Structure 1
Amino acid sequence: MQTQVVQAKPSTNAFSDFIQFWQDIRAIAGPYWYPTKPGERAFSDVIRAWGMLILLILLIFALVAATTYNSFIHRYLIDVIIQEKDYSKFTYTISFYAVGLVLITLLVGFTKFIRKQISLDWYQWLDNHILNKYLNNRAYYKINFKADIDNPDQRLSQEIEPITSSAISFSATLLEKALEMVTFLIVVWSISQQIAVALLIYTIIGNFIAVYLNQELIKINQAELESKADYSYCLTHVRNHAESIAFFQGEKQELNIIQRRFSILIKNIKEKINWERNQAIFNRGYRATIEFLTLLVLAPLFIRGDIDFGQIGQATTACYFFAGALEELIAEFGVSGGFSSYVQRLSDFSDALEAVAKQPENVGTIKTIEENYFAFENVTLQTPNYEQVIVENLSLTVQPGEGLLIVGPSGRGKSSMLRAIAGLWNAGTGRLVRPPLKEVLFLPQRPYIILGTLREQLLYPKTNRQLTDAELKEVLQQVNLQNLLSRVESFETEVPWENILSLGEQQRLAFARLLVTNPRFTILDEATSALDLKNEGNLYQQLQETKTTFISVGHRESLFNYHQWVLELSQDSSWQLMTVQDYRNQKTIVTTPSTNPQIKIDDSSQDKSLIQAEISTVEGLSHKEMNELTYYSITTIRSKANKGEPITNRDGIIYRYDKDSKVLKWVRV
């Protein structure tokens, strides 16, 4: 979908932002950790998730305890080396110290493993949860009408995993470093209360500064996410519309668009680099100050003999771990800036999916009834935003085996009628009767080409059907695609079909699906617009032979040959339904005998039956109007007019130029 410039949510103050953040967290994490809806999540899965979380907490406690224990062993080891100089005590003590190091190493490894396993399990569930919302009740389609939700594909593919990994990482780090800071603060307190009090005050001040700096990072990360999404989308847009861009030779314009969005991305990245520079200076300076103050206080105490060397080593180590824990904690606050941006975007996306999937209240909707035929009963159809009426008080019935052709000016809602049948649009009033959608096959103007093999293309949407290669070859022959197999190795070949098949070939491939599926009901939205009249006629004749009931949208007059009824939509939301023959009679131009029946026509270029046709002289088309209806240039049209040669327009209608001085127009034969 087209990306939109998304304005950040209005911020009132830090407290309200914090409350909103936790509400978003609860909305995302609640269904996984605290499922309340029946069937939302299996009880065994919830127990497993909580079991792993409790195991992670126990491992963190064990890690901090082992680290603290080893600090005391290290202190005693230093005393043995410096003061007692007892080798037997040294070997005995260092063996305990080595065991402590091994234990710490194992605990670090298992802690990281459990953290990543929890985040992976959560990510897998959350992705499926959001994806089910996305595909439920056609929310993936309806979300395109919400301008404030940009790049849903990126939100699904790139912005869910960072939420789970960051949430577990931040929570585990917060617990681990908070325990380390408290533990080592107690250790330092036992050695020097002055340093302990200074560390405590320093920690409080540092955290306030970190939280303040983090507010700016949240804005930077939000802008970076949106600029990355916009940049990625414009590259995808070029790939999807490569042929159109090549026809227009629009490479320079596309490059300007890409560079403009890339420059915005670079600007946001530079802002983040500058912020990270300041954060690095702050973190390193914060830690260095702690180490400096520790030595400044402890050195005089050792010189006066108030503490021994082992206590200096333990206090220094404790302050080092304290400073390191505080630095990591501040760094995690910085990472949480990106985390909060992801949370906000996913929460907005999830809320929007739920909103579009719900049936709107206090508005008129078309009631749908499932029967074995199509019918509109006093249906007034409106656009999804209820701003425009497409058709008013429509009543008609299409019996099984019949064909209905919907015609009318461009933009008058012909395709919207099909959207109503499919249940995509239901704004309005009245009652729609239709078969179950599983019995209806839709053929749009631009067929949907899936990512799969040639066999899957032909069998879609029922890819579990079993057809032999010979049967599939026969189907390709029926739709004049027999040469397709010569371009690929087999029916199991998977290539980018949208790139190697022309639009006409794609439309014939869609008809092949129809012949394979053999549905009872078919909807065609200009499904043969890219085909010549011969191929169109071949496909519609085969469609008629299947005895299916079908509704078509189209402009070509040739389509009248394959339908029994015509529904014409008008500009003023009115409509008229009549048989094809009545519609033709109504639209046929009144004919009168020509005042000059002696018309010289080259028999080699026109069938003799055309010479005997009665020609309309009531109204006609100019050279310019014929140019718009055909593939000929004005020069060629003038030449044919002088020679008396007929012209067939794009819809297969034949015109000839009447040279009568009272006419001098191209008139329909």
Structure 2
Amino acid sequence: MAEQKPSRSTATSVAGEVEAGLLSQLRVILDIYWISPVRNRLILMILGVVSIIIVTSAGQVLLNRWNVPFYDSLSRRDFPAFVDQLMVFFAIASVLLVFNVAQTWLNQMTRLKLREGLTRDLVGEWLEPRRAFKLSNSGPIGVNPDQRLHEDARHLSEMSTDLGFGLLQATILLVSFIGVLWTFSSGFVFNVYGYSFSIPGYMVWAAILYAASASWLSWLVGRKLIRYNADRYQKESELRFSLMRVNEHIDAISLYRGEADENRRIGFDIDSLLSAIRLLVTALTQLTWVTSGYGWITIVAPILVAAPVYFAGNLSFGGLMAAIGAFNQVHDALKWFVNNFGAIADWRATLLRVTSFRQAVQATDIKNSVEQRIKFTQSETNEIVLDKLKITAPRETVRLKEKKAVVKEGERVLITSEPGIDRTLLFRAMAGLWPWGAGSVSLPANTNILFMPRLPYFPPGSLREAMSYPVGKDGFSDEELVSALHELGLTRLEPMLDFRARWDRELSDDEQRSLAFARLKLHKPTWVVIDEALDGMEKDAYERVTAVLRDDLAKSTVVHIGREDKNDHVFSKVLHFVSDPSGHGLEEEGIAGV
């Protein structure tokens, strides 16, 4: 499949996500961690943080009570009492400092374990056999999965830790200080123009009303941040995709002198990202009017609320300072939503991207099962059977000219086609990667069958690992590796077995294909299906490869999908892949995302 780039029209809808509510998304995340190997350690860390927060809250209540004797000693100018209260302060502060450090360490370790569990789960789900390929053909959500697997997983783990523990701490402080604030304002009687009335715990109600109004205004002004953040992340991934694409193809771009054109294309992505960020900046600025406005008022709000009790003589100066401290703690706890609204919107957007990606990965199995038209089975005989096979391509339908093609054990079969037909579709259909079409593909059961793509894949690492892939670097001895290199004309690579490199860049096209056939010689599969790997090879390389097929893999069944034979009689049977004028393409049938 050609590289795909998400269209700009999908950006505002977070392109292709599986829609779900917050509770459903949270259930997905909880399920991930419940089955994760990090679950037990994560539970212990969370319990440790909860315990520290509870103890710290108790220490802050003690510190609030300390305000009364400390400020009363100042109002009396009682120096000995002042010194005594300083010693009490240092004792409480020292204990709280130890717990603050411990909480910071546990917070960071919780972040680490959350990210480990989430990333390993997402990568594991994505790399289930053939899922990544199916997802890449499932529309915009399958493009740039690295953004979801890396950056979104990191961001969600870190924000979940910070917001989760922050909310817990705010809740515990709220519970701890409501009683303190209620006590300070209990039983006070207001006298207004000759009328007397009392509001039990009026400072508590004042703090609740103040924080509730701030939270409501924050939600009203800032709710669009969720959509803007999601859009911004989508634009970031599009720009990153463009930069990676140019870097991967820089040789061809330079040869065509296409730098200016690529600069123009990337410029569109930069402009699109900047537009998304401008919307985000505007929304954040509007939200700041609310949060900062309430922040300035908060400086005097607790004093105004406690002033009636103080001026009535029911509170000492120390009691006033303690009441102000308690009001601020209650107000800060209630105002947690206001202070963190921008972060919550960012977290919601990231949660949506991560959970929808995971659901989309899992849904590819169901989707492809429902839409699948080619029947894939295991043949009862040791044969490959292609029966009435038609393959629906994006814009046309192609088929085998032979209604029923049978490849028997030990045969060498060439499948060729008319000019302009994508032969790789047949290769993918035989491998079970392309389900759209009609007819059936039957493969031998319980046999070692290897599908060799047109462009060989070499994992990053040593040459030994590239040749042994996917069985691991210890799969073959040095003698076997060297023998394979010699036979395929790659003698110069013998000293480089343990050299690490990007082999797709270190080697020429012919050397890459020859190395892929050296790997084939080592693995000795009983069945081989090759996609155009023999086409376009230089004469010497081609002769060495066909010698391997003829001699080293003499007992293997070989199917090559490519051009006509080069008159060396490697293949004993020829099948034909042709266009079907009566068929329709996937786009005409309305199958999205292909």
- From 101, 121, 125, the equivalent of 2:113 is 121
Shift of residue 444, structure 1, vs aligned partner = 2.0
1:163 has 2:171 as partner: no
Q: Which has the higher contact order (CA 8 A, sep 6+)?
A: 2
* Partner secondary structure for residue 108 of structure 1: helix
Per-residue displacement from partner, 1:334-355 (whole Å, max 9, x unpaired)?
Answer: 2111111111112221121112
Q: What one-letter code is carried by the residue in structure 2 that aligns with 1:481? A: L
Shift of residue 516, structure 1, vs aligned partner = 1.9
Structure 1 residues 153 and 374: alpha-carbon distance in aligned structure 2, compared to 1, 3 A threshold: farther
* Partner secondary structure for residue 158 of structure 1: helix
Match of 1:381 in 2: 390
The percent identity for this pair of structures is 22
> Which runs of 5 or more residues in structure 1 are unaligned?
11-16, 34-39, 575-669
Match of 1:433 in 2: 442
Q: CA RMSD in A?
A: 2.9
Aligned partners of 1:516, 1:142: CA distance in 2, in Å?
29
**C-alpha contact (below 8 Å) 1:533/1:558 kept by paired residues:** no
Structure 1 residues 113 and 411: alpha-carbon distance in aligned structure 2, compared to 1, 3 A threshold: farther
**C-alpha contact (below 8 Å) 1:382/1:428 kept by paired residues:** yes
TM-score, normalised via structure 1 length = 0.76
Per-residue displacement from partner, 1:632-654 (whole Å, max 9, x unpaired)?
Answer: xxxxxxxxxxxxxxxxxxxxxxx
Match of 2:514 in 1: 508
Shift of residue 158, structure 1, vs aligned partner = 1.2
Shift of residue 386, structure 1, vs aligned partner = 11
Per-residue displacement from partner, 1:123-179 (whole Å, max 9, x unpaired)?
Answer: 222222222221113110001111141321211111112223222322221121133
1:567 has 2:569 as partner: no
Shift of residue 120, structure 1, vs aligned partner = 2.6
Aligned partners of 1:409, 1:212: CA distance in 2, in Å?
62
* Partner secondary structure for residue 381 of structure 1: strand
Comparing 395-404 with 293-302, greater Cα deviation is found at 293-302
Comparing 536-545 with 327-336, greater Cα deviation is found at 327-336
**C-alpha contact (below 8 Å) 1:142/1:356 kept by paired residues:** yes
Shift of residue 405, structure 1, vs aligned partner = 0.3
Match of 2:417 in 1: 408
**C-alpha contact (below 8 Å) 1:134/1:353 kept by paired residues:** yes
Comparing 296-305 with 458-467, greater Cα deviation is found at 296-305
Match of 1:340 in 2: 348
Aligned partners of 1:109, 1:275: CA distance in 2, in Å?
35
Q: Any residues of structure 2 matched to 1:519-558 within 5 Å, and which?
A: 519-546=525-552, 547=554, 548-558=556-566
> Which runs of 5 or more residues in structure 2 are unaligned?
186-200, 583-594
Aligned partners of 1:90, 1:8: CA distance in 2, in Å?
61
**C-alpha contact (below 8 Å) 1:381/1:429 kept by paired residues:** yes
1:76 has 2:69 as partner: yes
- From 283, 288, 291, the equivalent of 2:296 is 288
Aligned partners of 1:462, 1:561: CA distance in 2, in Å?
33
Bigger radius of gyration: 1
Match of 1:262 in 2: 270
Aligned partners of 1:209, 1:368: CA distance in 2, in Å?
61
Shift of residue 63, structure 1, vs aligned partner = 1.7
Structure 1 residues 573 and 136: alpha-carbon distance in aligned structure 2, compared to 1, 3 A threshold: farther
Match of 2:502 in 1: 496
- From 482, 491, 495, the equivalent of 2:491 is 482
Structure 1 residues 508 and 460: alpha-carbon distance in aligned structure 2, compared to 1, 3 A threshold: same
Shift of residue 393, structure 1, vs aligned partner = 7.2
**C-alpha contact (below 8 Å) 1:400/1:549 kept by paired residues:** yes
Match of 1:249 in 2: 257
Per-residue displacement from partner, 1:201-255 (whole Å, max 9, x unpaired)?
Answer: 1111111112223311111111110011000000100111122212221111110
Comparing 509-518 with 555-564, greater Cα deviation is found at 555-564
Comparing 331-340 with 318-327, greater Cα deviation is found at 318-327
* Partner secondary structure for residue 472 of structure 2: coil
Q: What one-letter code is carried by the residue in structure 1 that aligns with 2:92? A: G
1:177 has 2:170 as partner: yes
Aligned partners of 2:288, 2:574: CA distance in 1, in Å?
73
List, as ranges, runs of 4+ consecutive aligned residues in structure 1 with deviation greater than 6 Å. Answer: 384-387
Per-residue displacement from partner, 1:513-567 (whole Å, max 9, x unpaired)?
Answer: 1122222222221112231223212211221112121001222440662100000
Q: What one-letter code is carried by the residue in structure 2 that aligns with 1:157? A: H
Aligned partners of 1:148, 1:569: CA distance in 2, in Å?
31
Shift of residue 64, structure 1, vs aligned partner = 1.6
- From 460, 472, 482, the equivalent of 2:481 is 472
Match of 1:210 in 2: 218
Structure 1 residues 152 and 473: alpha-carbon distance in aligned structure 2, compared to 1, 3 A threshold: same
Aligned partners of 2:466, 2:447: CA distance in 1, in Å?
18
Aligned partners of 2:515, 2:404: CA distance in 1, in Å?
34
Structure 1 residues 559 and 363: alpha-carbon distance in aligned structure 2, compared to 1, 3 A threshold: same
Q: What one-letter code is carried by the residue in structure 2 that aligns with 1:227? A: K
Aligned partners of 1:198, 1:128: CA distance in 2, in Å?
47
